């Protein structure tokens, strides 16, 4: 019963964030959404912020698990960008993009929420790093590009695009188009012969000295 109650509270907190926003995420509202007494929030989590933090981590784990198999099947950087567009639309429709924006804003004043949001994003970054490590290995960028750094830069870019879309949808679309152009460039590099790839690698190394 205790585990079931915790799950109800986590689900209720996520639903409250998505449907009503973080400003409405009070003990009373979350408890009503979860269908339990609000005193159970403090019994199980200690505070509303701790509950929201746990819900943030739990929600991220669920979303990453939802896409993990699809990520493992991607075969090129172009496919990764195509997947990112589809995932972005799914997450926006589900209300998770708006929720992320609110958590990022709330995290400025709440170390608890800041840490939980960073943990949630870290799950996405870890999955993305795996994909980039695998996909870059087939390009002249292997051994030159840093998959870990690229995973963080890519995650930060998509967060920015998701938040930017709220005020300028056309501009956000243009940003995604620009990223697809980079994927097209990577596809060209993948198609080069071994000698040409060695020349590209040599040029990249010289350019970073």
Ranking 43-47, 132-136, 203-207 by mean pLDDT, the lowest is 203-207
Q: Tell whether the model's pLDDT for residue 125 goes beyond 60.
A: yes
Please tell me the pTM assigned to this model.
0.77
Cα separation, 199 vs 195, in Å, equals 6
Burial class (CB in 10 A: 0-12, 13-18, 19+), 157: middle
pLDDT tens for residues 75-123?
Answer: 888 888 888 888 888 888 888 888 888 888 888 899 999 999 999 999 9
- Identify which has the larger pLDDT, 162 or 106: 106
Burial class (CB in 10 A: 0-12, 13-18, 19+), 104: middle
């Amino acid at each position: 019963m205790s585990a079931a109650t915790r799950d109800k509270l986590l689900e209720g907190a996520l639903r409250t964030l998505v449907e009503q926003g973080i400003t409405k995420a009070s003990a009373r509202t979350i408890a009503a959404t979860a269908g339990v007494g609000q005193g159970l929030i403090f019994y199980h989590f200690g505070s509303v912020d701790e509950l929201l933090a746990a819900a943030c981590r739990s929600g991220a784990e669920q979303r990453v698990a939802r896409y993990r198999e699809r990520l493992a099947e991607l075969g090129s950087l172009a496919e990764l960008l195509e997947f990112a567009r589809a995932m972005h639309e799914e997450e926006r429709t589900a209300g998770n993009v708006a929720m992320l924006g609110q958590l990022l804003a709330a995290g400025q004043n709440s170390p608890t929420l800041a840490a939980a949001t960073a943990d949630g994003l870290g799950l996405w970054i870890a999955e993305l790093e795996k994909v980039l490590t695998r996909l870059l290995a087939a390009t002249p960028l292997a051994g030159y590009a840093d998959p870990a750094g690229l995973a963080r830069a890519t995650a930060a870019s998509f967060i920015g695009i998701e938040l930017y879309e709220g005020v300028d949808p056309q501009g956000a679309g243009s940003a995604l188009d620009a990223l697809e152009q980079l994927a097209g460039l990577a596809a060209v590099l993948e198609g080069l012969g071994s000698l040409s790839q060695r020349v590209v690698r040599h040029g990249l190394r010289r350019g970073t000295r």
